[in-house]
């Protein structure tokens, strides 16, 4: 146990963020660099090393949280990093971006603020990189088997790293010009600076993983050719088809999917563009969708100099406390104030967009909405609540409907889909096509980075068993797992 009295003597303290005025003028991460290190050992000392660590079940990766809290408390950073990497290939991603369902399941959280697990995680991995403890781990011998991974998001990267380390020769195919999936082109720089992806890719290259960018499977290379060239295939192509809003005026200029808007801002940060062709500068911005993707649009619009930012959500405002039907240790739906929300803008709940209105040049100018309420379990419009708000840039952040089928990937492989439109798989993450596996959002549907990594690790075990007959790789989850409802 870290500090037997830590949870009694130390209050919860989290990473400090930079002042809003300062951070909206740049794109760097919102945190004060180095602010965690002086406090984190004491924070880790709040861990009670419970007999049954519910945080393990809260974390889809099954991270060994009390073990690394103990090492962090003792400032044995190398040992902490070793335990962290035992279950998580990329803790620098989850330590920055995970909604931390582990903290919702922390036993201390029953009647006190939980341990700052996520902050401990990111400190351990940042220290490990700084100390040079994160080194390539190439396999001792090669199996002679080859694997193609389609998609370079967290699921594809985790599968590729596991399979490379198991001795297989792995090539990752990515249709975008850079590796990283939504980590690279969805999530803005102010949530995670892309240098964290770049150094992981360097580690993976040094271990032997090959990367092929600007290659879309189904279009540039067809499925039959890929099957012939490789002994197994992992599809980790994400769920990148955006949900649309087919209301009158949708065709007006200035209405974009979030995933048309955000990647361009990220491309400016990569140095590919000087300014984004879709910018919020000087405009009244409306973001439709109250989730993480919407919050990323809000933060991006602030940094581009929007005149105003309004975020709309069709569902009612979540509560500040757990509902009775979401008891500890489940992951509750709570009202969240993200860093982007701290920076300004207005959030409007229980509203639905009825139509858009434009000017004579076809540019969107107004968004018409109405309030909605639940009646007999159904959302209905409230008569007499119609109004319009200024909207010169609208981003649609209402989620994703499944994996992209336009390139023929699903059809060419002959893949079966499940009832939700995701690629169907069995307990080993194998699809209906022998030797073809699926991991991440492509099989699970739109989810989280921590699930994508867990799926990539688990699918890698399925592939290894298929290729070698047995596997020593871990499989933290099964496809149907929903650890504590996240
Ligand atoms: C804006 C945004 C913000 C988010 N923020 C968070 C967050 O803060 N925390 C969190 O936990 N989760 C967040 N998520 C969700 C998270 O990013 C995803 O759940 C996760 O990235 C899924 O990983 P994946 O590897 O399955 O797919 P993806 O990351 O989507 O990667 C799939 C990759 O496959 C490539 N691809 C697709 N088809 C082909 C093909 N035919 N050939 C070659 N390549 C192909 C795509 O270009 C893409 O690079 C966010 C999502 C979005 C959109
Ligand atoms: S990956 Fe997420 S759930 Fe798991 S320990 Fe880290 S913050 Fe918690």
pLDDT band at 393, cuts 50/70/90? very high
Which atom of ligand 2 is the closest one to the Cα of 453?
Answer: 1
| pLDDT value at residue 27 | 97
Q: Whose CA is nearest to atom 17 of ligand 1?
A: 182
Taking Cα atoms as reference points, which of 328, 360, 258 lies closest to residue 299? 258
For the CA atoms of the chain, what is the radius of gyration?
Answer: 23
Has residue 477 got a pLDDT over 90?
Answer: no
Q: Which pLDDT belongs to residue 244? A: 98
pLDDT digit string, tens, across residues 218-230: 999 999 999 999 9
pLDDT higher than threshold 90 for residue 2: no
Distance, CA of 259 to CA of 366 (rounded, Å): 22
Q: Which domains does the chain have, with CATH numbers?
A: 6-131 (1.10.1060.10), 146-240+401-485 (3.50.50.60), 245-398 (3.50.50.60)
Give residues with Cβ within 8 angstroms of 150, minimum separation 6.
156, 173, 217, 226, 233, 234, 235, 236, 237, 409
Ligand 2 center from residue 351 Cα (angstroms):
33
Query: What is the token pair recorded at 284?
Result: 């009244």
Q: If DSSP states are collapsed to H, E and C, what string results for the chain?
A: CCCCCHHHHCCCCCCCECCHHHHCCCCCCCECCCCCHHHHHHHHCCCCCCCCCHHHHHCCCCCCHHHHHHHHHCCCHHHHHHHHHCCCCCHHHHHHHCCCHHHHCCHHHHCCCCCCHHHHHHHHHHHHHHCCCCCCCCCCCCCCCEEEEECCCHHHHHHHHHHHHCCCEEEEECCCCCCCCHHHHCCCCCCCCCHHHHHHHHHHHHHCCEEECCCCECCCECHHHHHHHCCEEEECCCCCEECCCCCCCCCCECEEEHHHHHHHHHHHHHCCCCCCCCCCCCCEEEEECCCHHHHHHHHHHHHHCCCEEEEECCCCCCCCCCCCCCCCCCCCCCCCCCHHHHCCCEEECCEEEEEEEECCCCEEEEEEEEEEEEECCEEEECCCCCEEEECCEEEECCCEEECCCCCCHHHHHCCCECCCCCECCCCCCECCCCCEEECCHHHHCCCCHHHHHHHHHHHHHHHHHHHHCCCCCCCCCCCCCCHHHC
Q: How far is the CA of 90 from the centre of ligand 1 (A)?
A: 15
How confident is the model over 343-352, as a mean pLDDT? 98
pLDDT at residue 483 above 90?
no
Nearest to 247 by CA among 396, 383, 403, 402: 396
Pick from 260, 294, 449 the residue to mutate for probing ligand 1's pocket: most ligand atoms within 8 Å of its CB: 449
Ligand 2, atom 1, residue with closest C-alpha: 94
**What local confidence, expressed as pLDDT, does residue 444 receive?**
96
Which protein residue's CA is at the shortest distance from atom 41 of ligand 1?
217
pLDDT at 89 over 70: yes
* Whether the CB of 279 sits within 6 Å of ligand 1: no
Classify the C-alpha dihedral 345-348-353-356 as positive or negative.
Answer: negative
d(CA 178, CA 191): 18
Q: Give the pLDDT score at 58.
A: 94
Share of the chain above pLDDT 70, in %: 99
Whether residue 260 is predicted with pLDDT greater than 90 in this model: the reply is yes
Write out the two tokens for 129. Answer: 């990189």
* Mean predicted lDDT score pLDDT of the chain: 96
- Residue 96: CB within 6 Å of ligand 2? no
Pairing relationship of beta strands 255-257 and 393-396 according to DSSP bridges: parallel
Q: Which whole number is the average pLDDT over 390-398?
A: 98
- Express each pLDDT in 397-426 by its tens digit: 999 999 999 999 999 999 999 999 999 999
- So what's the pLDDT on residue 177? 98
Q: Is the pLDDT of residue 390 over 80?
A: yes
Q: Is the pLDDT of residue 481 over 90?
A: no
Share of the chain above pLDDT 90, in %: 95
How far is Cα 421 from Cα 415, in angstroms, rounded to an integer? 11
Q: Is the pLDDT of residue 193 over 80?
A: yes
How far apart CA 260 and CA 285 sit, in angstroms, is: 15
Q: What is the pLDDT of residue 35?
A: 93
The ligand placed nearest to the CA atom of residue 154 is 1
Q: Is the CB of 161 under 6 A from ligand 2?
A: no
Tell me if 63 CB under 6 Å of ligand 2. yes
440 Cα nearest atom in ligand 1: 26
Amino acid 72: pLDDT = 97
180 CA distance to ligand 1 middle (Å): 8
**What distance in angstroms lies between residue 473's CA and the mean position of ligand 1's atoms?**
24
Average pLDDT over residues 44-70: 95
Among residues 50, 40, 101, 102, which one has the least CA distance to residue 72?
40
The closest alpha carbon to 119, from 139, 141, 103, 142, belongs to 103
Find out whether the beta carbon of 121 lies less than 6 Å from any atom of ligand 1.
no
- CA-nearest residue for atom 7, ligand 1, is 97
Q: Cβ contacts of residue 125 below 8 Å, gap of 6+? A: 81, 84, 91, 92, 95, 134
pLDDT at residue 365, as a whole number? 98
Q: 108-140: string of b/e by CB count within 10 Å (b at 16+)?
A: bbeeeebbbbbbbbbbbbbbbeeeebbeeeeee
- Ligand approaching nearest to the C-alpha of 219: 1
**Closest-lying ligand to the alpha carbon of 117?**
2
Give dist(CA 77, CA 23) in Å, integer. 30
Q: What confidence score (pLDDT) does residue 486 get?
A: 57
**Contact in structure between 329 and 52 (CB atoms under 8 Å):** no
Taking only the tens place, the pLDDT of each residue in 35-51 is 999 999 999 999 999 99
Give the bridge partners for 257, in sequence order.
396
Cα(173) to centroid(ligand 2), Å:
27
Q: What is the pTM of this model?
A: 0.97
User: Residue 99 in contact with residue 486, Cβ under 8 Å?
Assistant: yes
Sheet holding 255-257, edge to edge: 255-257, 393-396, 284-288, 308-312, 346-348
pLDDT at 484 over 80: no
Closest CA to 161 of 184, 138, 178: 138
For 103-121, what is each residue's pLDDT tens digit? 999 999 999 999 999 999 9
């Amino acid at each position: 146990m870290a500090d037997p009295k830590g949870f009694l003597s130390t209050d919860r303290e989290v990473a400090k963020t930079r002042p809003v005025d300062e951070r909206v003028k740049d794109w760097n991460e919102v945190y004060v660099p180095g602010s965690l290190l002086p406090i984190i050992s004491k924070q880790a000392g709040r861990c009670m090393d419970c007999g049954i660590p519910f945080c393990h079940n809260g974390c889809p990766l099954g991270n060994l949280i009390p073990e690394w809290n103990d090492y962090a408390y003792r400032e044995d950073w190398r040992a902490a990093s070793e335990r962290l990497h035992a279950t998580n290939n990329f803790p620098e991603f989850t330590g920055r971006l995970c909604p931390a369902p582990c903290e919702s399941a922390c036993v201390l959280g029953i009647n006190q603020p939980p341990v700052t697990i996520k902050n401990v995680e990111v400190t351990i991995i940042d220290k490990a990189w700084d100390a040079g403890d994160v080194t390539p781990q190439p396999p001792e011998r090669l199996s002679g088997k080859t694997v193609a991974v389609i998609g370079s998001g967290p699921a594809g990267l985790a599968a590729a790293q596991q399979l490379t380390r198991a001795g297989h020769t792995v090539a990752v195919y990515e249709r975008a010009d850079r590796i990283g999936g939504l980590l690279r082109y969805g999530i803005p720089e102010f949530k995670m600076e892309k240098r964290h992806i770049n150094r992981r890719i360097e580690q993976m290259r040094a271990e032997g993983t090959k990367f092929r960018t600007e290659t879309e499977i189904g279009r540039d290379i067809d499925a039959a050719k890929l099957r012939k060239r490789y002994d197994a295939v992992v599809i980790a192509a994400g769920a990148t088809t955006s949900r649309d809003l087919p209301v009158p005026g949708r065709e007006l200029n200035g209405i974009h999917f979030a995933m048309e808007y955000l990647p361009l801002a990220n491309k400016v940060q990569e140095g590919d563009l000087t300014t984004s062709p879709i910018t919020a500068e000087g405009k009244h911005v409306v973001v439709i969708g109250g989730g993480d993707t919407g919050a990323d649009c809000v933060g991006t619009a602030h940094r581009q100099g929007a005149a105003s930012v309004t975020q709309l959500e069709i569902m009612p405002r979540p509560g500040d406390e757990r509902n009775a039907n979401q008891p500890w240790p489940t992951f509750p739906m709570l009202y969240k104030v993200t860093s982007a929300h701290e920076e300004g803008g207005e959030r409007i709940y229980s509203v639905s967009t009825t139509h858009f209105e434009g000017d004579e040049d076809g540019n969107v100018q107004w968004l018409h909405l109405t309030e909605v309420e639940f009646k007999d379990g159904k959302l209905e419009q409230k008569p007499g609540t119609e109004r319009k708000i200024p909207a010169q840039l609208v981003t649609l952040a209402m989620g994703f409907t499944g994996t992209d089928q336009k390139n023929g990937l699903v059809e060419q492989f002959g893949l079966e889909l499940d009832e939700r439109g995701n690629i169907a798989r069995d307990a080993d993450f194998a699809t209906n096509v022998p030797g073809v596996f699926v991991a991440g959002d492509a099989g699970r549907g739109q989810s989280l980075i921590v699930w994508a990594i867990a799926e990539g690790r688990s699918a890698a075990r399925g592939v290894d068993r298929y290729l070698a007959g047995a596997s020593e790789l871990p499989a933290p989850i099964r496809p149907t797992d929903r650890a504590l409802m996240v």
